[in-house]
Amino acid sequence: MNPMILGQRIKEARLAKKMTQNEVVGTFITRNMLSQIESGTAMPSMKTLAYLAQVLELPLAELLAGTEEAAPEPLSEPTQLLPQNDLQYIRDLYQSEQDTELLAFLSGLSEEDFLFAEKAAYRARSAYRLALAFETQQKLSEALLHAQDAAKWADIGFYANPVLKADALLLLSRLAAELSKMYNSNH
């Protein structure tokens, strides 16, 4: 199946029924996933296809007709990264503890990103690791900013990590107490 043709067909059927993405997804899939399916960047499972066909009141066979796989088109630019390569780059930065570079790479992260949940998880972990490093160096203001970032991103997406969020909040509390002591001793 060609995901571009299938996605276009699903989008056209949704628009013909004057339905928003939120109306189509219900509680079965996320709006972000439907967006990825419609843009051809994600291939739905047969169960998801059956659900979409039912909601859009289309026979599944009609939805799938003519979606045979075509030969892949070459990338327009040789340096363009595919999403899986993007994620591999992020993993490599994380594994080599290049947290500053990783956070810079993820600075423009948005929910429209194909790999949003995975990237949010890496952003939270790197921010927390940097916060601990800055705390050790007694750079408490920088540590505080990164701990806040870690707490925010640890609570997002499929890979939300309540333990990491709790650790980041405890670190925030510890940093706030330390900064308060320093402020009071200076005044």
Same domain, 169 and 87: yes
pTM: 0.54
Q: What is the mean pLDDT of the chain?
A: 83
d(CA 138, CA 88): 32
Q: Is the pLDDT of residue 75 over 50?
A: no
- DSSP code, position 113: S
Do residues 43 and 34 make contact, with C-beta atoms less than 8 angstroms apart?
A: no
Distances 136 to 29, 144, 173, 174 between C-alpha atoms, Å? 43, 12, 15, 12
Percent share of the chain, pLDDT over 90: 28
Residue 98 DSSP label? -
Per the structure, the complete domain to which residue 160 belongs is given by 83-186
**Predicted confidence (pLDDT) per residue in 35-62, tens digit:** 888 988 888 888 888 888 889 988 888 8
pLDDT at 121: 92
Q: Please give the tally of structural domains in the chain.
A: 2
Q: Would you place residue 69 in the very low, low, confident or very high pLDDT band (cuts 50, 70, 90)?
A: very low
pLDDT tens digit sequence for 1-31: 678 888 888 999 899 999 999 999 888 888 8
- If one compares 71 and 54, the residue with the highest pLDDT of the two is 54
Spatial CA neighbour of 132 closest among 122, 120, 144: 144
Give phi and psi for 73, each to the nearest 5: -85, 145
Same domain, 144 and 92: yes
Dihedral, CA atoms, 160, 117, 90, 93, nearest 10 degrees? -20
**Is residue 53 in a domain?**
yes
Looking at the structure, tell me whether residues 90 and 57 fall in a common domain: no
For residues 180 and 88, membership in a common domain is answered with yes
In a domain, 72, yes or no: no
pLDDT digits (tens, 9 = 90+) for 99-128: 988 888 888 887 887 788 889 999 999 999
The residue among 37, 64, 91 that closes a domain is 64
Can you give the CATH number for the domain in which 56 is found?
1.10.260.40
* Whole-number pLDDT of residue 74: 46
Angle between helix 162-186 and helix 116-136 axes, rounded to 10 deg: 30
Identity at 102, one-letter amino acid code:
L
